[in-house]
Every structure is written in structure tokens, then in C-alpha cells.
Structure 1
Amino acid sequence: MDQLLDVYVNVEGPSGHNSKWKRKRGSSDTIYENEDKVHAVEPNSPAVRGAGNVKSCRAVAVCLALLCLLLLAGLITLVFLFIQAKSEWKMEMVKLHNNLTSERNKLQMSYMNLSEEREQLQMSFSNLSEEQDQLQKRFEDITNERNELEKRLLALRSYGWIYFSSSLYYISSSKKSWQQSRADCLQKGADLVIINSHEEQEFIQTFKKLIWIGLTDMESEGKWKWVDGTPLTTSYWDRNEPNGVPDRDEDCAEIKKYDSEQSWNDESCGLERFWICEKLLFQ
């Protein structure tokens, strides 16, 4: 071609620079190589492989950096989790210690309470043992007293005494005046009977005799008193009694009727009647 054609071909060499192919005027096409003698680069040439290795190294470095960052992040996470777990463990240990301390205190308190209860039970047992001994002694004393009482009652019964409602009664087999009757009772360690209850009144009536009782108004007319000095409160006088007689003093009381509850009568103390003595069993 007659025209001047400049043909440029870009070729990337190992250094990365571009080389130019020039075409000048002339009758024939003449191609001159550049002064740097750039050779055509084949795909599997060492230059291409070197460039690939550099890129691979960069990729590996980036991967290693990312891996290091991931490892660092994982390590930081592990350290954080370890610190958190250690803190929670410490809290759990403190809580467990507090619970154990509380349970220990409760156990100590329970032990102290049990010790106090044991001491109280021992004291109660000792007291019960003492009470048992006292009751045993009391039982023995009562048994002995009963035996002595039975012996005494047998002995008194042989002398004509009768037991009724915690008292002993003696019924005479002869008659005497009120003063003589009382003197006989006093000689026996007793006195004429004092009637304090309806039951005692009925008991004395069972003897069915005219009996002197320990009631008189010798000191003051109309003021009846028992032989122990106590005033009369409950009486069992017969109808229209006591009435007295103008020609004689009727200062002593007798049981005249034995078939009626209202059986008392005032009579002259010099008349002779049966009498009944009374004394307390443990007098």
C-alpha cells in the first residue's frame, strides 16, 4: 500500500508496558520490532504464571487476615463468655453459700430447740419420776392409813361405835338425864350428837328410840345452841315445838318420833332418855 499506515498493537509484557508495532511507507510492508525486543507472550509462559501467583498470594493474605479477624473475634467472644460464666458461677457460689449458711443456721436453731426440748423432757421425766415416787409413797401411806382405820373401826365396833359419813356414833343401851348422857360422851372422847344434814337426821331416826341430842337453850331461853356453841340454823321440830311448860324448864332437845322427819321435842333435862354420842373419825 502506498499510503502510510501506522499500525499499533498493544502487547502487555512482563513489566506491564505497551509496545508499539510500526508500519511505514514503502512499496512493501516492513515491520520493525521495537528496540526492547518485545516477544509475544504465551498463555503458559512463566510471566503469566508469576502474575497468577502474586494474585493468589494476595488472596491468601486477605483470607488469612479475615481468618485472623474471625479468630480474634472468636477469642474475644470466648473471653467474654468466660468472664460472664465466671461471674455467674461466682453469683451461684455466693447464692449457694448463703443458702448453705441459712440452712446451717436453721439446723443449729433446730438443734438448739431440740436440745432445749430434750432438757425439758428430761426435767419432765425427772419430775414425773419424783411425782411417781411421791404417789407411790402416798399410796403406801394411804394403804397403811386404811389398814389402821380398818383396825380402829373393828376395835371401835366392838365397843358399840358405828361409822357413818366420816363420823363415829355410839348408841347407849341405858337411859340417863341429858347432863349425865353428855358426861358419858365426853368421857368417851365425844359429845352429844350434832345434826347437820337431812341424811344425818334420817340416820339417827333408824335407831327408833327416844334419844337425847346435843341441843339446848340453857344459857338463854329460846336461843337454841349445839353443844359446840354454834347456833341452830336447820331444825326438825315437831309441830308446835319447842313450846315449853310454865311449871318446868324444857331446855334440852330430844328425838321423840322416829317415823316422821319433824321429830324434835323440847323436854326437861332431868328426864332419862337414851343418848347418842358423836365424834369425828380422825379427831
Structure 2
Amino acid sequence: MGTDYQGRKDRVEMIVDVCESIDSVREHNISTHKNAHQPLEHTGSECVRNRSHRSVLVCSVVLCVLLLTAVIVLCVLIYTYNHQFHINNKNIKEERDQLLTNNTNLIKQNSKLTQENNRMLECLKDGWIYCQSSMYFILSERKNWSEIRRLCRERGADLIIINNKEEQDFLVRTLHKELVWIGLSDSDVEGKWKWVDGSTLNISFWGSGEPISGPGVDCVLYNSTGWITYPCNTNFISICEKSCLE
């Protein structure tokens, strides 16, 4: 009896030991399994954290590039605006200066024209005739060439000098067929015709067979059909000429 009891007791203790061993192994496996999963979770967090850091870095770089581009564009726009403003301001100043110069010139021209007009009107009051910027006065007194010239000079003029066809035509319209002394002679050198201002003869309107050179035939008369030489001591009317601006 005692032997059977002891045998059962030993089997029970053996079963208990086996159960404890199984529980120990199970706990060890569970613990090992948990520990095996912990590094994986830690590694996943690190990857997520690294990706976040890279994203932030990329965004920061992009923002810096955009900001730098905006600053460059703004600087270019400011420089272009300032440059264009400087050019426009310079052009406006040049235009203003040109307008002031033109205005000054116009004032001077207007003043000059006013003076010329006043002088011309003053001349016309005394019976002078205006043509081609010159004033003409017909002396109806009949005098020799020297005397008639003296009368012209007393009026601030001299015997007429005919420089062009327009002036010759003016005499034709004004004097018609009248014979009139003009300011041409060869009294200094025979055959060398000179005007009263000392200039040589460049254009002439001689009549047929003229000019005639000879002693005492040193002066010239206007004639509608052409100039003619004539003795200077003969009495004729004359026409005086002057510039009304003198």
C-alpha cells in the first residue's frame, strides 16, 4: 500500500514538472516573439522619420529657389523701371530745352520782323516803294548824274543798282518808257563799268549797240528797251535805292 502511494506521488510530481517545463518554454517563445517584433517597429518609425526630414528639406530648397528667383525678378524690374525713367526724364528735359530754345528764337524773330515792319511802314510814309527787300524813291527833279546822286544820298540812299532781271522788270512796270539815271558808270576807268557801291557789272541789260565807250559818255540811263550810255552832264530824273533795314 505504501509502495503504491509512493509510486502515484512520484508520477504526479513528474507530470507537474513537465507542465512547468511546457509553460516555461511557452513563455520564452512568447517573449522571444515580442522581442523579435520590436526592432521591426523601431525600424519602420525611423524610415518614416527620414522621409519626413527629406520632404521638409526639399520643400525648403524649393522655397529658397523661388524666393531667390522672385528677388532677382524684382531687382531686374526695378532696374528696368529706373533705367526707363532716367531715359524718359532725359528725353523730357531735352524736349523742354528744345522748346525753350525754339520759343526764344521765335520771340527774337518776331521782334526782328516787328522792327522791320515798323521801319518799312516808316519808309513808306515818305513815298518810298518796297520791292525785293529794298526801298525805291523816284526823284522827279531833272539833274545831271552827279547832282541826282547827291540828292539820293541826302535821303540815305544812292542811285539804283540793278542786280537781277526781277529788278529790271520792276523798273519797266514802274517807269514804263521814262529815261532814268542808274548807278552805273565807267568814269574811273574807260570801258570798266562799275556800280556806285564799287561792285563790278555782273549782269546787264544793254540796248542794241550798247555800251558805247568814249570821252564824256561815262554814265548809263535806264530805258525800257535796254540800257544806254549817255553824257553824265545831261539832266534826267532818277530813282534812288536803299535798304529799309539800315
TM range (shorter): 0.7 to 0.9
Q: Which amino acid aligns with 1:72?
A: H
Question: Deviation of residue 211 (structure 1)?
Answer: 1.3
Please report the TM-score for the alignment, with normalisation by the length of structure 1. Answer: 0.69
CA contact (8 A) 2:129 2:135 kept: yes
Shift of 1:119: 4.3
Q: Does 1:127 align with 2:101?
A: no
Counterpart pick for 1:249 among 216, 224, 232: 216
1:109 equivalent in alignment to 2:79 = yes
Maintained 8 Å contact 1:244/1:267? no
Q: Deviations over 1:171-190 (max 9, x none)?
A: 12232111111111110001
Q: Give 1:102's aligned amino acid.
A: I
Q: How many angstroms does 1:92 deviate by? A: 2.0
Post-superposition Cα deviations, 1:224-263, rounded to whole Å, max 9, x if no partner, equal 1111111111111123211235xx421112212x1x4xx1
CA–CA distance in 2 between the matches of 1:272 and 1:49? Answer: 175
Residue 126 (structure 1) shift: 5.3
Look up the match of 1:190.
Answer: 157
- Give the Cα–Cα distance (whole angstroms) in 1 for the partners of residues 166 and 31 of structure 2: 131
Match of 2:33 in 1: 62
Q: Partner of 1:95: helix, strand, or coil?
A: helix
Distance 1:71 1:218, change over 3 A: farther
Normalising by structure 2, report the TM-score.
0.78
Please list every run of 5 or more consecutive structure 2 residues that lacks an aligned counterpart in the other structure: 1-6
Partner of residue 210 from structure 1, selected from 160, 164, 179: 179
Match of 2:132 among 165, 172, 175: 165
In structure 2, what is the equivalent of residue 30 of structure 1?
A: none
Measure, in 2, the Cα distance between the counterparts of 1:174 and 1:187: 14
Shift of 1:191: 0.7
User: SS at the partner of 2:242?
Assistant: strand
CA contact (8 A) 2:123 2:244 kept: no
Aligned-residue offset at 1:140: 6.0
Is contact 1:194-1:278 (8 Å) kept? yes
- The higher-RCO structure (CA 8 Å, 6+ apart) is 2
SS of equivalent residue, structure 2 residue 240 = strand
- Percent identical pairs in the alignment equals 27
Range moving further from structure 2, 103-112 or 159-168: 103-112
Q: Is the Cα–Cα contact under 8 Å of residues 191 and 213 in structure 2 kept in the other structure?
A: no
Q: Equivalences for 1:1-283 in 2 at 5 Å?
A: 36-37=10-11, 51=22, 55=26, 58=29, 61-62=32-33, 65-66=36-37, 68-117=38-87, 119-120=89-90, 123-124=93-94, 127=97, 130-131=100-101, 134=104, 137-138=107-108, 141-142=111-112, 144-145=114-115, 148-149=118-119, 152-153=120-121, 155-206=122-173, 207-208=175-176, 209-245=178-214, 248-256=215-223, 258=224, 260=225, 263-283=226-246
Q: Any unmatched runs of 5+ in structure 1? A: 1-32, 42-46
Q: Distance in 1 between matches of 2:142 and 2:73?
A: 92
SS in 2 for 1:254: strand
Aligned length: 237
What RMSD in Å do the two structures reach over aligned CA positions? 3.5
Contact 2:134–2:242, Cα closer than 8 Å, also in 1: yes
The answer (yes or no) to whether the contact 1:191–1:277 under 8 Å persists in 2 is yes
Q: CA deviation at 1:84?
A: 2.2
Look at both structures and tell me which one has the larger radius of gyration over its CA atoms.
1
Q: Which structure features the higher share of helix residues?
A: 2
Is the contact between residue 206 and residue 227 of structure 2 (CA under 8 Å) also seen in structure 1?
yes
Counterparts in 2 of 1:51 and 1:266: CA distance versus 1, 3 Å: farther
The answer (yes or no) to whether the contact 1:167–1:279 under 8 Å persists in 2 is yes
